[in-house]
Amino acid sequence: MGKASLDCEHTLALAVREAAGEPCPPLLAKALDYAVFPGGARVRPRLCLAVALANGNSEPRLASAAASAIELLHCASLVHDDLPCFDDAIERRGKPSLHAAFGERIAVLAGDALIVAAFQQLSQLGSRLSHPVRLATVTGIVARGVGGPMGICAGQAWECEARVDLEHYHRSKTGALFVAATTAGAASAGVDPASWRQLGESIGEAYQVADDIQDAVADPDVIGKPTGIDVALDRPSAVRELGLEGAVKRLERCIEEGLDSIPDCEGSALLRKVVQAQSNRFFPQGIKHSAA
Amino acid sequence: MGKASLDCEHTLALAVREAAGEPCPPLLAKALDYAVFPGGARVRPRLCLAVALANGNSEPRLASAAASAIELLHCASLVHDDLPCFDDAIERRGKPSLHAAFGERIAVLAGDALIVAAFQQLSQLGSRLSHPVRLATVTGIVARGVGGPMGICAGQAWECEARVDLEHYHRSKTGALFVAATTAGAASAGVDPASWRQLGESIGEAYQVADDIQDAVADPDVIGKPTGIDVALDRPSAVRELGLEGAVKRLERCIEEGLDSIPDCEGSALLRKVVQAQSNRFFPQGIKHSAA
């Protein structure tokens, strides 16, 4: 389970090249590339691939396609999230947000095209798998992580309600795609996805809390996007709810719960190390991590 | 090949119920239903089902799911098309457009969730098919009809370019989903999709020309949406290019080309009748159809 095998850049590049190839209109083509490269930490696809590897990775193409589909869907959600009608963010990953660079229309279309590209890429595996029946299972898992009633779209839609169900809000806005990552990784390797749900939920919650902490304390120049959004938009946040110290404690507990939930499997010891290493990045610089 | 068997309302209702079920946020749930029901003429799914039936329809669940997926994607494109940054349309199908009724944020999310629902619905067939290998083929066909480089998203993105490639613009904005309808119908029945491409292209072009004619001459109260958009937004249009009479002639030629392209198959005679009947609806009231 070497470092290189958690890398999905090549699969992502193929998917973008396909969606943005001839005769794609030039602006949309550029925007698709801009939305995906250079990437962030690629936390979700790495988690997906790490779970597949820990379980023997008996269908590596499917695991790669699932990981890459999940990242494409994540990128799509960032593009639509940044739109003027939502966060109205002008910066993302240290560069202008997509709509700031290409206009609002191309941003809507690029998000749409990335969602389609995610499923197109999975469908292309078609008859090229040793276990073709896993394809539909994995595709369904990925779809549930992003659509209604409890994928990212649903999570984002809670922000439009007068009364927010906080648990469903966080679970769907952030948790759902992490759950998709762990369960799709398991399903691609032919393992029961259900026992890998908890890892996704815990790491998803950890990520959400880490994001709230970052929004409250990080330096915008360091993280490449504006901060203070939660307070400005009056959004629920772990820091607003628990204070900074309480939020850091919850973050630590989520990571531990995630690690404890990892089922016995061939590569569980190595997987624990990968999850631990990824999770350490959730702590912004200057925030003390008691286990560090 | 009775009339009832071209109906996809039930499959559509199941897909929407699934995407909008508990614990979907209430506004998004309502918006998903609002975007799909009551529908328009359902031209694309009817065409898809008619082609499947003409070819023996040996995998009827797949044909239904494909037809319904294509309609969900069409509805998604209408919702995003109507957004303020595109057509800024306040009416659609005789009622307020989705963003006019639910706000812009819910409109973006509803479109996204409908795209996902289309693929989720296909993936759910999973192992329930007699010919499971057809699922990935059909899913790929549907994806190509809507994403980049030449699906609906690409077509819409041509509107953002300084120089528009008119052929690619029409082929992708309108034609691609019609091609998806005919070829997915064929592929779901286990028939080579390539020989069903031309029917989709011709009917797609006919539909585009009919839309241009409608935009130029129809009564907004009758068709339930504003007219005169092409001139107002300086968009290419068959009427602007050829005049009204020339556009009607082209419409007639497209329909004939489509009918002539229908390959020999079990149900080709009945299929011709269905296509002819559907196409007659492309002529707005008051426009003489020389073959009528």
Residue B17 falls inside a structural domain: yes
**Residue B36 pLDDT > 80:** yes
- Higher pLDDT among residues B12 and B282, named by residue: B12
* Phi/psi of residue A21, nearest 5 degrees: -75, 175
Q: Are B112 and A109 a contacting pair at CB < 8 A?
A: no
CB atoms within 10 A of CB A288: 8
Q: Are B165 and A23 a contacting pair at CB < 8 A?
A: yes
Q: Are A112 and B115 a contacting pair at CB < 8 A?
A: yes
Element (H, E) at B96: strand B95-96
**CB-CB neighbors (< 8 A) of A148 in chain B:** 19-21, 24, 28-29, 32, 113, 116-117
Q: A106: burial class by Cβ within 10 Å (0-12, 13-18, 19+)?
A: buried
pLDDT of residue B153: 97
Residue A23 falls inside a structural domain: yes
* Centroid of chain to Cα B60: 20
**Residue B148 pLDDT > 80:** yes
Residue B48 falls inside a structural domain: yes
* ipTM of the modeled complex: 0.94
Residue B130 falls inside a structural domain: yes
- Higher pLDDT among residues B211 and A65, named by residue: A65
Q: What DSSP letter does each residue of B266-286 carry, written as one string?
A: TTHHHHHHHHHHHHHTTSPTT
User: Can you give the residue range of the structural domain that contains B230?
Assistant: 4-280
The pLDDT tens digits of the residues spanning A8-44 come to: 999 999 999 999 999 999 999 999 999 999 999 999 9
Residues contacting A180, CB < 8 A, separation 6+: A44, A48, A70, A141, A142, A144, A145, A146, A151, A200
Residue B285 falls inside a structural domain: no
Chains A–B, number of C-beta pairs less than 8 Å apart: 217
Q: Per the structure block, which two tokens stand in for B81?
A: 């098309």
Residue type, B228: G
CA-wise closest residue to A32 among A21, A43, A44: A21
Share of chain A above pLDDT 70, in %: 96
**CB-CB neighbors (< 8 A) of B79 in chain A:** none
Mutation for A interface: B108, B163, B168, most A CBs within 10 A: B108
pLDDT of residue B168: 85
CA-wise closest residue to A237 among A210, A202, A200: A210
Residues contacting A58, CB < 8 A, separation 6+: A130, A131, A189, A190
The pLDDT tens digits of the residues spanning B259-268 come to: 999 999 999 9
Q: Are B108 and A24 a contacting pair at CB < 8 A?
A: no
pLDDT of residue B2: 40
Q: A46: burial class by Cβ within 10 Å (0-12, 13-18, 19+)?
A: buried
CB atoms within 10 A of CB B103: 15
Q: What is the average pLDDT across A109-135? A: 94
Residue A292 falls inside a structural domain: no
Residue type, B38: P
Q: Per the structure block, which two tokens stand in for A23?
A: 């005769």
Q: How many domains does chain B have?
A: 1
pLDDT of residue A224: 77
Q: Residue A102's closest chain B neighbor by CA?
A: B160
Q: How far apart are CA B92 and CA B81, in angstroms?
A: 11
Where does B171-267 have alpha helices with state H?
176-188, 197-217, 220-223, 229-232, 238-261
Residue B288 falls inside a structural domain: no
Cis peptide before A132 (omega within 30 of 0): no
Residue B289 falls inside a structural domain: no
CA angle B192, B196, B199 (to 5 degrees): 180
Element (H, E) at A177: helix A176-188
Smallest Cα distance from A111 to chain B, Å: 8
pLDDT level of residue A165 (50, 70, 90 thresholds): confident
Lowest mean pLDDT among A52-56, A72-76, A87-91: A87-91
Q: Are B196 and B53 in contact (CB under 8 A)?
A: no
The pLDDT tens digits of the residues spanning A256-272 come to: 999 999 999 999 999 99
**CB-CB neighbors (< 8 A) of A127 in chain B:** 133, 136
- Higher pLDDT among residues B87 and A3, named by residue: B87
pLDDT of residue A3: 42
pLDDT of residue B288: 59
pLDDT of residue B225: 76
Q: Are A289 and A282 in contact (CB under 8 A)?
A: no
pLDDT of residue B126: 85
pLDDT of residue B189: 97
Lowest mean pLDDT among A18-22, A75-79, A104-108, A125-129: A125-129
Q: Are A8 and A68 in contact (CB under 8 A)?
A: yes
pLDDT level of residue A58 (50, 70, 90 thresholds): very high
**Residue B163 pLDDT > 70:** yes
**Residue B214 pLDDT > 50:** yes
Q: How far apart are CA A170 and CA A237, in angstroms?
A: 10
CA angle B161, A121, B80 (to 5 degrees): 40
Q: Tokens 């008859």 identify what position?
A: A127
Q: Are B142 and B96 in contact (CB under 8 A)?
A: no
Smallest Cα distance from B72 to chain A, Å: 13
Q: What is the average pLDDT across B191-195? A: 97
Share of chain A above pLDDT 90, in %: 74
CATH number for B184: 1.10.600.10
